[in-house]
Chains A and B, each alone.
Chain A
Amino acid sequence: MKVPFSLTAAVELEKRREQMLSAIARGLPRLQPVPISDTAVLHIACYGPSLADTWQSLGRPLLSMSGATRWLHDRGVTPDYHIEMDPRADKTPMLTPPVPGVTYLLASVCHPSLFDAVSEERVVLWHVVSSTEEEDEKFLLEHDPGQWQFASGSNVGLGALQIGGALGFRHFEVHGMDGSFQGDRRHAGIHTGKPQKADQTWQVNHKQWYTSRVMANGVAETINALRLYPMFCVFHGDGLTQALVREENIPTACCADETVKAASVRAARAMFVDHTQIQRKDVKCWSAWDAMGCAKFRPEWLERFLTARVENERRRERATFNTGSVGIEAMLQLRAVCEWKRPKVAVEVGTFIGNSTVALEAEHVYTCDQTNDVFPASERITTFPGRSAGEMCEQLVERKVRADLMFIDGRLRNREVPLVKLAARPDAVWIFDDFFAGGKGEANIKKLAPLLPGYGFVGPYPAFKDRSSLAMLVPLS
């Protein structure tokens, strides 16, 4: 999502550097990242107006910010952490007096008066990227070597997600991150910072939200962060950010009232796959598919598949049972995953006119089709026309052939599932077509997943939206 406005920093770099030096000189402990837990949850209280509607469902541990810490404490909730990264002095009154028992995570750019205000409490120092990462790295190498710097984004809510990662969390319950006004209110309570005007509008699903340029930028950055980082976020309350989270349908984030999806997001686990370095500019919408080859499709693949599709389409008139074939998008995905996996053996269920067969790049491809016999065998492709998945896989197992990659584009019967599984190597990648509610892909995954412990699920490729319904089960190790 494009960050809409080009804005300048509130405090000039020279002043921020001065404040960083002052903070470094205080001898405070530094924030040290800890290993990330796959299950622990951090609750984050931002200070948007909707916090007033949802604060009673906050859990612990709790990280808050801005005026939210005092606001919550006044209501009997004492956060565990407070995060601050604004360099301006006008934030200090909101922290005066400090709340006892809170650990204050202060960025070194914060105004010295802020440090003075909380000096009796536990304070941990961290460095936020203030200009460019390279310039800040040089500065820190000179003045505070060996310490971490964190790229937080333009507002403290985003900073909380990054610092939350440093604290060891990947799952977040986010309250009050609205990015919009509620009436004329920008916060749940008093805020001593510079007032902003609700002079921008942003329409989401026929509803007009009022926001400011600064807030609009933060909202766009939030959506981008949700797409780019391996974290799982459930958003509480009602605001522009929450509305966009709902509309953008990000796999790893949702609103709390999307109860089915929220359960799934809360239970989700991050899966990391080795991949060659991918340039960020090549990837518009990060997905595991990108890590497994789809970040870079080669033009020669598209050229070959465009021609192949025309040739294969002519086979359709000879088909006994005329059905659908994979689209060009799915062909590119299959080819890309083959480029990543480099399978010696690929096994396919559902040849039909051969579009997906052509896309499977392996030393040898075995493919079956129970109802059609229109795609010819070749040196590299062994066909099993008129044979079911179970019949083909039984023969492959007898021949001691095991697949590195399985592509299932047919509905598997229960009795043939164990045979199909036997025909795959323990580290095979499984790709399924027609993954949608009620589709054969969903049914096939439900049958196979229990037989594949240690496998992770990858949903359809977001970059292709509803033009490809391929999903995967991939080995996690």
Chain B
Amino acid sequence: MKVGFYTVFRHDPIHYTLAARLLASIRKHMPGAEVWHFTDETSPIVLGVDEARRLPHGKMLERRLEHYALCEGDWLLLDTDVILKRDVSDVFEHHFDVALADRNWPHKTPTQEYLLSMPFNTGVCFSRYPGFWADTLTAWRALPEQDWLSEQRAVYQVVRTGAFRVRILDGMVYNYPPKAEDDPCEGAAIVHYKGNRKGWMAA
């Protein structure tokens, strides 16, 4: 299994600090995994990864999807603000093209807009078939607004086509946003320090 994360350096190095923590958690819980850093032409490579892939500079979301669309085989695709709490390679024992985590977090109820247009957060994606990401890229490029959440809207559009086998994972286990800095995150396999929580992970 391979693990991939995308980060580039524009101004704030926080994602490098986060990526180092993510990498340490992967080495601890899935020492056999091959870790890739997807990035652009000039950003430094995160120390300690096994491989790096560079694509030319461009819009971050577009480049990330382009990287994902090159991932053949079993890949765990993660945001950098994510920590593994245990080995999750058993997810690949199931049949799917892509497995996504839902937003059913009782402590962070998603808004109507999120539920209707982007019910899956893409911070954690188990991927087997790059065609899903190729279609997501096409859908994203056609969106009238390409804001920060547009990738998730594009993902849901492709999910709804029914063209791919999509497994839905429990967000409380596979994409858990901590309630507080000292949240023990019990039961969570993957913790996602999304949004303002990044500071907790970087501390």
Binding site for B on A (CB under 8 A): 282, 284, 296-297, 299-300, 302-303, 306-307, 310, 327-329, 332, 463-467
Q: Kindly list chain A residues whose C-beta atoms are within 8 Å of the C-beta of B44.
A: 299-300, 302-303, 306
Q: Per-residue 0/1 for B6-46: is the Cβ within 8 Å of any A Cβ (1 yes, 0 no)?
A: 00010111101100000000000000000000000011111
Q: Kindly list chain B residues whose C-beta atoms are within 8 Å of the C-beta of A307.
A: 47
| Closest partner residue, chain A, to B39 (CB atom) | A299
Q: Among A284, A306, A329, which residue has its beta carbon within 8 angstroms of that of B47?
A: A306
Do B12 and A310 touch (CB < 8 A)? Answer: no
CA distance A463 to B12 in the complex (A): 8
Do B11 and A302 touch (CB < 8 A)? Answer: no
User: B187 an interface residue at 8 Å Cβ cutoff?
Assistant: no
Do A302 and B16 touch (CB < 8 A)? Answer: yes
What's the least CB distance linking B202 to chain A, in Å? 7
CA distance A299 to B44 in the complex (A): 6
Q: Kindly list chain A residues whose C-beta atoms are within 8 Å of the C-beta of B42.
A: 299
Q: Which of A297, A307, A467 has the most CB of B within 10 A?
A: A467
Q: Kindly list chain A residues whose C-beta atoms are within 8 Å of the C-beta of B45.
A: 303
| Closest partner residue, chain A, to B47 (CB atom) | A306
User: B110 an interface residue at 8 Å Cβ cutoff?
Assistant: no
User: B199 an interface residue at 8 Å Cβ cutoff?
Assistant: yes
| Closest partner residue, chain B, to A303 (CB atom) | B44
Q: Among A302, A310, A466, which residue has its beta carbon within 8 angstroms of that of B199?
A: A466
CA distance A310 to B20 in the complex (A): 11
What's the least CB distance linking B46 to chain A, in Å? 8
Q: Among B9, B46, B47, B202, which residue has its beta carbon within 8 angstroms of that of A467?
A: B202
What's the least CB distance linking A204 to chain B, in Å? 14
Do B17 and A328 touch (CB < 8 A)? Answer: yes
| Closest partner residue, chain A, to B43 (CB atom) | A299
Contacts A299-B44, A306-B47 hold; do A328 and B11 have CB atoms under 8 A apart?
A: no
What's the least CB distance linking B113 to chain A, in Å? 13
Contacts A307-B47, A467-B202 hold; do A299 and B9 have CB atoms under 8 A apart?
A: yes
CA distance A302 to B13 in the complex (A): 8
Q: Which of B13, B14, B17, B43 has the most CB of A within 10 A?
A: B13
| Closest partner residue, chain A, to B45 (CB atom) | A303
Do B16 and A328 touch (CB < 8 A)? Answer: yes
Do A284 and B11 touch (CB < 8 A)? Answer: yes
| Closest partner residue, chain B, to A310 (CB atom) | B47
CA distance A299 to B45 in the complex (A): 10
What's the least CB distance linking B109 to chain A, in Å? 14
CA distance A467 to B42 in the complex (A): 24
Do A467 and B43 touch (CB < 8 A)? Answer: no
Do B12 and A464 touch (CB < 8 A)? Answer: yes
Do B13 and A282 touch (CB < 8 A)? Answer: no
Q: Kindly list chain B residues whose C-beta atoms are within 8 Å of the C-beta of A303.
A: 44-45
Q: Kindly list chain A residues whose C-beta atoms are within 8 Å of the C-beta of B14.
A: 329, 467
Q: List 25 A-B contacts (CB under 8 A).
A: A282-B11, A284-B11, A297-B9, A297-B13, A299-B43, A299-B44, A300-B44, A302-B44, A303-B45, A306-B16, A306-B46, A306-B47, A307-B47, A310-B47, A327-B17, A328-B13, A329-B12, A329-B14, A332-B13, A463-B11, A465-B199, A466-B199, A467-B14, A467-B199, A467-B202
Contacts A328-B17, A466-B199, A467-B202 hold; do A302 and B9 have CB atoms under 8 A apart?
A: yes
What's the least CB distance linking A284 to chain B, in Å? 7
Would you list which residues of chain B between 154 and 186 have a CB under 8 Å from chain A?
A: none
With A327-B17, A329-B14, A467-B202 given, can you name 13 additional A-B contacts, CB distance below 8 Å? A282-B11, A296-B11, A297-B9, A297-B13, A299-B9, A299-B43, A300-B44, A302-B16, A328-B17, A329-B12, A332-B13, A464-B12, A466-B199
CA distance A303 to B39 in the complex (A): 13
Contacts A303-B44, A306-B44 hold; do A297 and B11 have CB atoms under 8 A apart?
A: yes
CA distance A466 to B44 in the complex (A): 24
Would you list which residues of chain B between 23 and 81 have a CB under 8 Å from chain A?
A: 42-47
CA distance A300 to B47 in the complex (A): 14
Q: Kindly list chain A residues whose C-beta atoms are within 8 Å of the C-beta of B16.
A: 302, 306, 328
What's the least CB distance linking B158 to chain A, in Å? 26
Q: Kindly list chain A residues whose C-beta atoms are within 8 Å of the C-beta of B17.
A: 327-328
CA distance A310 to B48 in the complex (A): 11
What's the least CB distance linking A466 to chain B, in Å? 7
CA distance A428 to B125 in the complex (A): 51
CA distance A329 to B202 in the complex (A): 12
Q: Kindly list chain B residues whose C-beta atoms are within 8 Å of the C-beta of A310.
A: 47
Would you list which residues of chain B between 177 and 203 have a CB under 8 Å from chain A?
A: 199, 202
What's the least CB distance linking B111 to chain A, in Å? 11
Q: Kindly list chain B residues whose C-beta atoms are within 8 Å of the C-beta of A297.
A: 9, 11, 13
What's the least CB distance linking A306 to chain B, in Å? 5
What's the least CB distance linking A48 to chain B, in Å? 28
CA distance A299 to B47 in the complex (A): 14
CA distance A327 to B9 in the complex (A): 16
CA distance A296 to B13 in the complex (A): 12
What's the least CB distance linking A322 to chain B, in Å? 19
Q: Kindly list chain B residues whose C-beta atoms are within 8 Å of the C-beta of A282.
A: 11
What's the least CB distance linking A79 to chain B, in Å? 41
What's the least CB distance linking A10 to chain B, in Å? 23
What's the least CB distance linking A152 to chain B, in Å? 26
| Closest partner residue, chain B, to A306 (CB atom) | B47
CA distance A466 to B198 in the complex (A): 12
| Closest partner residue, chain A, to B46 (CB atom) | A306
Q: Kindly list chain A residues whose C-beta atoms are within 8 Å of the C-beta of B199.
A: 465-467
Q: Kindly list chain B residues whose C-beta atoms are within 8 Å of the C-beta of A328.
A: 13, 16-17
Top 9 A-B residue pairs of the complex, sorted by shortest distance between their CB atoms: A303-B44, A299-B42, A328-B13, A302-B44, A299-B9, A306-B47, A302-B9, A299-B43, A302-B13
